[in-house]
Amino acid sequence: MKRFDDIDGWRRHRLALAETDIGFVPTMGALHEGHRSLVETAVARSSRTVVSLFVNPTQFDQPADLEAYPVDIANDLAKLEAWGVDDVLLPRFEALYPDGYRYRVSESSLSTRFCGAHRPGHFDGVLSVVMKLLNLVQPRRAYFGEKDWQQLALVRGMVSAFFMNVDIIACPTVREADGLALSSRNRRLDESQRTLAPEFHRVLENAPSAAAAREMLAKAGFEPDYVEDYEGRRLGAVHLGEVRLIDNVALEGAHD
C-alpha cells in the first residue's frame, strides 16, 4: 500500500496509472466496519482501490464538533492495508484548499433541507471536498454509504450536473446487531446513551408516520432535529447529549 501526503506526488502517481480501473472511497478516517464494507466492495470491483483520509473542516458548522472528531491515522492505515487498499491519500488542508475555500460548490434545493437546515454550509463543504477528491483521483467508481442518504443524493446530483465521468455506487448501511447504524460518532456515546441509541432506528422503521416518530423519539429521551418522509425514505437526525446521529429507512419498511 502506498501513502501520499503530497498532492503533487499523488498527481504524478495518478498519471502513471493511466486508464487503470480505480475504485475510490473518500473517508474522514476513524474507520469502522461500515468503511470496511465500502472498501471491500471497491476492492472486489476494481483493479486498484484508493482511499482518502481527510477530516474536512469546511463541512463542520460547529468548531467543537470538529475538535471532538476522532483521529487515529496509524490505526486507520493498518486497517486499510489489511483490507487490500492500494493507495491512500492524506492531503493537508493547505494543499487541498490552496484558495482558502474562496471557491466552493453549492446546491440550492435539497442541501437546504433536513441536515442542511440544521447545519448551515455543511453540504457546501461536503460537495466541494468530494469534487476536489474526485478530480484528483479520477476513479471509474466511487463508493458511498446509504446511511448518509442526503449526502449520497447530493453527490449523485453534482456528478450529473457537472458531467463528471464517475459512477457513484451506493452501499447498504452497516448496522450493529441491535440496529444502530455504524458511525465514527458512536464512540462518543456514553454507556446509557449507547443503550438507548438503537431505539432511533426502531422508531424510524415502525412509527406510523414521521410526526409520530418525532413524538416517540422525544418521549424516549432523544432530541430530534427532524424526521421526515421524502422520496420513499424516512430520514431522521437526533441528538443524544452532544452526539448527533442520523439514519434513514426505506418507507417499505415503515408503516404508512
The 3-class SS string of 101-164 reads CCCCCCCCCHHHCCHHHHCCCHHHHHHHHHHHHHHHHCCCEEEEEHHHHHHHHHHHHHHHHCCC
Looking at the domain assignment, is residue 179 inside a domain? no
Number of domains in the chain: 2
Question: What does the block give as the cell for 57?
Answer: 473542516
In a shared domain, residues 37 and 158:
yes
In a shared domain, residues 166 and 188:
no
Task: Give me the active site residues, please.
Answer: 35
What are φ and ψ of residue 113, in 5° steps? Answer: -105, 170
Q: What is the pLDDT of residue 253?
A: 47
Looking at the domain assignment, is residue 70 inside a domain? yes
Looking at the domain assignment, is residue 177 inside a domain? no
Residue 137 has pLDDT above 80, yes or no: yes
Domain that holds residue 215: 184-249
In a shared domain, residues 132 and 197:
no
Q: Which pLDDT band holds residue 196 (cuts at 50, 70, 90)?
A: very high
Looking at the domain assignment, is residue 256 inside a domain? no
pLDDT in tens, 197-233: 999 999 999 999 999 999 999 999 999 999 999 999 9
Q: Which pLDDT band holds residue 254 (cuts at 50, 70, 90)?
A: very low
Residue 97 has pLDDT above 50, yes or no: yes
Spatial CA neighbour of 238 closest among 171, 208, 193: 193
Looking at the domain assignment, is residue 17 inside a domain? yes
Q: What is the pLDDT of residue 255?
A: 42
In a shared domain, residues 145 and 192:
no
In a shared domain, residues 78 and 155:
yes
In a shared domain, residues 30 and 134:
yes
In a shared domain, residues 159 and 199:
no
**What average pLDDT does the chain have?**
96
What is the rounded distance in angstroms from the CA atom of residue 248 to the CA atom of residue 237? 9
Q: What is the pLDDT of residue 44?
A: 98
CATH number for the domain harbouring residue 115: 3.40.50.620
Please work out, in degrees rounded to the nearest 5, the angle formed at the alpha carbon of residue 142 by the alpha carbons of 202 and 122: 60
What is the rounded distance in angstroms from the CA atom of residue 156 to the CA atom of residue 168? 6
CATH number for the domain harbouring residue 223: 3.30.1300.10
Is residue 201 within 8 Å of 220, Cβ to Cβ? no
SS3 content of the chain, % helix, strand, coil (to 5): 45, 20, 30
Looking at the domain assignment, is residue 217 inside a domain? yes
Q: Which pLDDT band holds residue 252 (cuts at 50, 70, 90)?
A: confident
Work out the average pLDDT over 101-115: 98
In a shared domain, residues 165 and 114:
yes
Domain boundary among 171, 200, 215: 171
Domain boundary among 171, 193, 213: 171
Residue 256 has pLDDT above 80, yes or no: no
CA dihedral 203, 204, 210, 214 (to 10 degrees): 50
In a shared domain, residues 62 and 149:
yes
**Helix and strand totals (H; E) in the chain:** 11, 9
In a shared domain, residues 92 and 140:
yes
End-to-end CA distance of the chain: 48
pLDDT in tens, 145-167: 999 999 999 999 999 999 999 99
Looking at the domain assignment, is residue 45 inside a domain? yes
Domain boundary among 149, 171, 193: 171
Is residue 125 within 8 Å of 155, Cβ to Cβ? no
In a shared domain, residues 96 and 201:
no
In a shared domain, residues 161 and 195:
no
Looking at the domain assignment, is residue 43 inside a domain? yes
